[in-house]
Amino acid sequence: MQYDVFLFDLDDTLMDFSAGEKNAFSLSFESNGYPNGLSDYRKSYREISTVLWDDLEQGRISLTELKTERFKRLFDLHGLDMDAALFGQTYLDYLGKEAHLIEGVAEMLSGLADCRLAIVTNGFKDVQFSRIGRSVLNNTFEAIITSEEANCQKPKADIFDYACKLLNVSDKSRILMIGDSLSSDILGGNNFGIDTCWYNPQRKENNSAAKPTYEIHDWKEFSFGPVGAM
């Protein structure tokens, strides 16, 4: 099967989100007078954030609520007297300046120059546009679809429907969704009825309900040809 429309997740698929998050988290605390914020609070933050992003995927919380709630819970846990809403915006401002491409991504995308490429992300619109704009990915994608814009998030089929309407693509057999998250990217593609490719560099086991069409562990393994072999 040949694909000519590729939908990519952004964080931890094309960009190293962990590196950007670490820097933004550290700078946010440093600017508020906590030079050891990264070592003191990041572990707790990651645990809280993981729960809340899962809540977002399940529709239990909105992206706007998540923006503040993750820091409110962190500050409550550690007894920190800071404005969670203000801190949340500071963090996003720093995060928007972090653009760390995963190795092999630029070369992989250059091989798809004749195809239609788009981003489908649950991340914050301003942050994602800023990060892409600061990287070599700028002007690579026909569209950048965010959950804020679509008013729904992966793994809901609605965000993929929104993307297809925006791209004016009705033939689902032409589309491949690529991402690192089974619960968001792959299950979302399953829900919408399109083929998927699981980017799995850590070689995690799939014990979920999500069923990727393909699985790769390195971007060098991602090859596109007449038969869509990967």
> Which amino acids are annotated catalytic?
9, 11
Please, what's the largest Cα pairwise distance for the chain? Answer: 59
* Cβ count near 37 (within 10 Å): 19
* Cβ count near 226 (within 10 Å): 7
- AA identity, residue 137: L
Give the H/E segment covering residue 145: strand 143-146
Q: What burial class does residue 36 get, using C-beta atoms within 10 Å of its C-beta: 0-12 exposed, 13-18 middle, 19+ buried?
A: exposed
CB neighbour list of residue 195: distance below 8 Å, 6 or more residues apart: 1, 3, 173, 175, 176, 177, 189, 213, 214, 228
Q: How far apart are CA 228 and CA 230, in angstroms?
A: 7
Q: How far apart are CA 25 and CA 113, in angstroms?
A: 35
